[in-house]
């Protein structure tokens, strides 16, 4: 797959604006500042396909990209505390609206910062995905920020923090060392060839 050929399609601020599904979709989800824009840019070998923001909570839209035969869906980052309740409700409406819609959603990549325990929102998201029987994997971001000992500790902690962690496909990822880039690309390629 020529990942660098991914093209921006559109951004939507409300669920009702989202056009009907017309191809296989792959969604990226995670709390704001987890490194989602950075990961998308790495995977698609682009400097700024997804905007990387130093200010968390800016990605308040659902963004669609096209990489034939896939549609890549960048869900708004959740869990940012410093926004109004109405804004939070709009985001969660977008996320649950999209995930609950009858679309050809092949995989959700849920991003969690490897350094920290999953947030309440992360756990709620995992619960929702499991309950809805949606296919997902977990990408543990910013892996470069941990040394070997810290990493082993965090991986053990995830076993107790995340239900059924050992049964979930987990990909450690770092935009700095490029760990996990080829693995995520491989997953997308496999789906594209279905």
Residues that bind ligand GDP (CB under 6 A): 30, 32-38, 52-54, 56, 59, 77, 141-142, 144-145, 174-176
Say how far apart CA 168 and CA 125 lie, in whole Å: 14
Least distance CB 14 / ligand GDP (angstroms): 20
Least distance CB 20 / ligand GDP (angstroms): 27
Helices 120-131 and 85-100 pack at an angle, to 10 degrees, of: 20
Least distance CB 83 / ligand GDP (angstroms): 13
Say how far apart CA 103 and CA 109 lie, in whole Å: 16
- Residue 61 or 174: the one with the smaller Cβ distance to ligand GDP is 174
- Residue 175 or 187: the one with the smaller Cβ distance to ligand GDP is 175
* 29 φ/ψ angles, rounded to the nearest 5 degrees: -135, 160
- Residue 60 or 192: the one with the smaller Cβ distance to ligand GDP is 60
By CB atoms closer than 10 A (0-12, 13-18, 19+), residue 92 is middle
- Residue 59 or 61: the one with the smaller Cβ distance to ligand GDP is 59
Displacement of CA 25 from its chain's centroid (Å): 13
């Amino acid at each position: 797959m020529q990942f660098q050929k991914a093209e921006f399609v559109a951004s939507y601020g409300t669920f009702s604006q989202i056009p009907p599904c017309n191809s296989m979709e792959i969604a990226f989800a995670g709390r704001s500042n987890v490194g989602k824009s950075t990961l998308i840019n790495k995977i698609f070998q682009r400097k700024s396909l997804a905007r990387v923001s130093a200010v968390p909570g800016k990605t308040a839209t659902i963004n669609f990209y096209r990489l034939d035969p896939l549609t890549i869906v960048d869900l708004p980052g959740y869990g940012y505390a410093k926004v109004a309740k109405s804004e939070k409700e709009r985001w969660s409406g977008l996320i649950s609206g999209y995930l609950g819609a009858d679309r050809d959603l092949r995989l959700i990549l849920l991003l969690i910062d490897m350094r920290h325990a999953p947030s309440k929102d992360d756990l709620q998201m995992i619960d929702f995905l499991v309950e809805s029987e949606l296919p997902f994997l977990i990408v543990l971001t910013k892996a470069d920020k941990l040394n070997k000992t810290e990493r082993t500790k965090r991986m053990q902690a995830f076993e107790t923090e995340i239900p059924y962690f050992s049964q979930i496909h987990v990909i450690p990822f770092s935009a700095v060392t490029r760990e996990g880039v080829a693995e995520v690309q491989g997953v997308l390629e496999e789906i594209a060839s279905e």
